[in-house]
Amino acid sequence: MANLRLATQQIIEKIRADRGGGKAPKLPSPSPQSIRDLRTSLGMTREQFASCFGLQVGTLRDWEQDLRHPDQAATVLLRIIERHPDMVAQTVEKMREGELAGSG
């Protein structure tokens, strides 16, 4: 675990150096339609998607109805779900079962 943390820290330092030490640029929020499209492409209802990926149903609804926009962390999560939905679902399930508790 220590090697992973060291490698991660080295990557972060390289990114900061490449950017001149500045803050990370803000990621564009996904559109309400793209969030809805992601969910429907997985064949899920709002309730299923929210439960599977550790989100609140009301938050997902607000994103899809353009009442609120995902923050940076949620934007990253949605992009990862888009590319690796099974991995995210399995990770959320393991977290619920306590298998990943204390691993941070």
* pLDDT band, very low/low/confident/very high, at 25 (cuts 50, 70, 90): confident
Name the 3-class secondary structure at 38. helix
- This prediction's pTM: 0.74
Q: How does pLDDT run across 28-52, given as a tens digit for each residue?
A: 999 999 999 999 999 999 999 999 9
Compute the Cα dihedral for 37, 38, 44, 48 and give only its sign.
Answer: negative
Q: What percent of the chain has pLDDT over 70?
A: 79
Q: How does pLDDT run across 60-84, given as a tens digit for each residue?
A: 999 999 999 999 999 999 999 999 9
| Orientation of helix 85-96 relative to helix 46-53, angle to 10° | 70
Q: Are 60 and 14 in contact (CB under 8 A)?
A: no
